[in-house]
Amino acid sequence: MNIADYFPMWNKLTSAQQNILKDTAALRSVKKGTVIHNGSVDCIGLLLIQSGLLRAYILSEDGREVTIYRLLDRDICLFSASCIMPGIQFEVIIEAQKDTVLWIIPAHIYKRLLEQSAPLANYTNEIMASRFSDVMWLIEQVMWKSLDKRLAAFLLEEASLEEVNQLKLTHEIIGNHLGTAREVITRMLHYFQSEGIVKLTRGIVEITDSAKLTALANS
Amino acid sequence: MNIADYFPMWNKLTSAQQNILKDTAALRSVKKGTVIHNGSVDCIGLLLIQSGLLRAYILSEDGREVTIYRLLDRDICLFSASCIMPGIQFEVIIEAQKDTVLWIIPAHIYKRLLEQSAPLANYTNEIMASRFSDVMWLIEQVMWKSLDKRLAAFLLEEASLEEVNQLKLTHEIIGNHLGTAREVITRMLHYFQSEGIVKLTRGIVEITDSAKLTALANS
């Protein structure tokens, strides 16, 4: 993917603006597990994901995590440039959930372009609205869906992202995604196992009946 | 308040753009309880609140509510123009929680100005980021705060908004704000009463020890 491919309104930028984006974007590889952005501590810039998987999560004072959304190939990560967005009053941590290759556009460069270009500013608004929608989806899940359905949906999503049925996931990692204690996840997974939906072995959750899991997630 | 007062970047608009905003804004009064915006059903436009109180909430399939934020004097309501914002994939309902006076800027007019003006587009982004921050605060509350603390914080907020200690609130209305069943609210309020924090009479919750309530909310 070229830089232009990430911006559907590319043709509405001046050629000077296009060149600034192309010339300042730096291609980087980050290893699985790397924390790319940590709340207000840093402000690396806009991330354009070429391949891989990023996870955005929040952290409670006592160290509990909840995944708020995940970003895939072709997605743009905005909150890694949150310092240039007045109004953002929360801290998100972004880490690579897989080895990831991405373009970085420095925050101050992007800010300057936003000030010049209404199409770019409106497109940035659209990206933020998409992330907002992800978070509203999460609120609906947390408020109105029981944990068994959320866990079922998470396992299916993970299997789809990793393209395997044998998921290398500890119960603690699953708890960190869903914002739930490990013990609660363990209990629910044992229930899934007794229903023949999954098979548990050390550090692995294998989906053995994905039709039943899908039915549960959608119920 | 004039229209200009709502837009800190007013001087960065051309005088033609300023005139469009001033000429198309219509001043309206809405009665307490009026639903101003109902998900994707309508798209009235941007609302600039002169006085009053708006409540934004989401609704589950089976009719449960959760308040996601409230808007006061000087606030701008963006989601009443959600049709002009691609990327918004959730439905919010906005109702007047008090008699409210507001300016309405029609959605199609605002959209045209957004396309022309980078300062206006960036400011719109800032408003969305503020609402995003409200919703992230809600997620943190729901995930990590117990109901007694959330209820304490809600009663204090309500007393501050209404400027009284005797709150006209049924347990059902409180449940709708917090996304919790009426019975659960009733049980918690009785506990508060037994602790001398509130006094309950028909349709009224009176705060009798606001210091203790504040301590609970912040604990």
Contact B140 A86 (CB under 8 A): no
Contact B132 A66 (CB under 8 A): no
Contact with chain A for residue B121, Cβ under 8 A: yes
Model's pTM, two decimal places? 0.89
Contact B135 A137 (CB under 8 A): no
Q: Which of 66-85 (B) contact A at CB < 8 A?
A: 66, 68, 85
pLDDT in tens, B49-81: 999 999 999 999 888 899 999 999 999 999 999
Q: Of A138, A173, A189, which residue sits at a domain end?
A: A138
Select the residue of A121, A125, A140 nearest B58 (Cβ to Cβ).
Answer: A140
Q: How far apart are CA A22 and CA B121, in angstroms?
A: 23
Categorize the per-residue pLDDT at B153 as very low, low, confident or very high, splitting at 50, 70 and 90: very high
Find, in chain A, the residue whose alpha carbon is nearest to that of B92: A136
Q: Which domain holds residue B27?
A: 3-141
Q: How far apart are CA B78 and CA B43, in angstroms?
A: 10
User: What is the value of ipTM here, to two decimals?
Assistant: 0.88
Find, in chain B, the residue whose alpha carbon is nearest to that of A176: B143
Contact, B126 vs B44, CB < 8 A? no
Cβ-Cβ contacts under 8 Å for A44 (sequence gap 6 or more): A36, A37, A80, A81, A104, A106, A107
Q: How far apart are CA B146 and CA B140, in angstroms?
A: 11
Contact A133 B86 (CB under 8 A): no
Along chain A (219 residues), what's the average pLDDT of each consecutive run of 10 residues?
95 98 97 92 92 95 91 95 90 95 97 98 96 93 90 95 94 93 92 93 94 94
Q: How far apart are CA A139 and CA A159, in angstroms?
A: 23
> What integer pLDDT is reported at residue B9 of this predicted model?
97
Does residue B204 sit in the same domain as residue B172? yes
pLDDT in tens, B110-135: 999 999 999 999 999 999 999 999 99
Does residue A59 sit in the same domain as residue A104? yes
DSSP assignment letter at A213: H
CA distance B102 to chain A (A): 22
Does residue B107 sit in the same domain as residue B191? no
Q: How confident is the model over B79-89, as a mean pLDDT?
A: 90
CA neighbor of B1 nearest in space, from B54, B48, B52, B71? B48
User: In the numeric block, which tokens belong to residue B176?
Assistant: 């709708």
Find, in chain B, the residue whose alpha carbon is nearest to that of A115: B118
Locate all alpha helices (DSSP H) within B48-181, ordered by sequence.
107-116, 118-144, 147-162, 171-178
| Domain total in chain B | 2
Which CATH number goes with the domain that contains B159? 1.10.10.10
Mean pLDDT of chain B: 94
